[in-house]
Amino acid sequence: MTRTLLVVCLICALPFAPMLSPAAAREILVTQKGQQFTPKALTLAVGDEIVFVNDDTGTHNVFSESPANTFDLKAQRPGTRTKVAFPKAGQVDVRCAIHPSMRLIVDVK
């Protein structure tokens, strides 16, 4: 009897499964100004996105060669906004190819 009740409850819950899905991805703003990232470190959930905003007076080339997430934004001119998704868990070391002292650590969980 208990198993039958459990199966019936699970079948009844199927139409509501989409409402039980995980929360939507967040967008986190990371600015580049004074040849630095702000913030310098952050924690994301898998699937979250960073919007890189160049608020600086010069061009930046934001990239990561980390196994958890590899990307290269190429030349990002002042005023440019570029979104990057983080689909895998792990630590991501983000740098600027033009300004080696710029560094952002992203912990994706």
How does pLDDT run across 41-93, given as a tens digit for each residue? 999 999 999 999 999 999 999 999 999 899 999 999 999 999 999 999 999 99
Predicted confidence at residue 83, as pLDDT, reads: 97
**What's the rounded Cα separation, in Å, for the pair 85 and 70?**
10
End-to-end CA distance of the chain: 40
- pTM of this structure: 0.77
Query: Phi/psi at 16 (nearest 5 deg)?
Result: -95, 0
Identify the pLDDT of residue 68.
87
> What pLDDT is recorded for position 25?
83
Whole-number pLDDT of residue 98: 95
Query: In the structure encoding, which two tokens stand for residue 83, read together?
Result: 């979104």
**How far is residue 52 CA from its own chain's centroid?**
10
Residues in the chain: 109
CA distance 49 to 46: 9
Tokens of 88: 């895998």
Contacts (Cβ under 8 Å, ≥6 apart) of 41: 104, 105, 106, 107
State the CATH class of domain 25-108.
Answer: mainly beta
> What's at 40, amino acid-wise?
K
pLDDT classification of 1: cutoffs 50, 70, 90: low
Quick one: pLDDT at residue 5? Answer: 43
For 3-48, what is each residue's pLDDT tens digit? Answer: 544 444 445 554 555 454 556 789 999 999 999 999 999 999 999 9
Q: Is omega for the bond preceding 39 within 30 degrees of 0, making it cis? A: yes
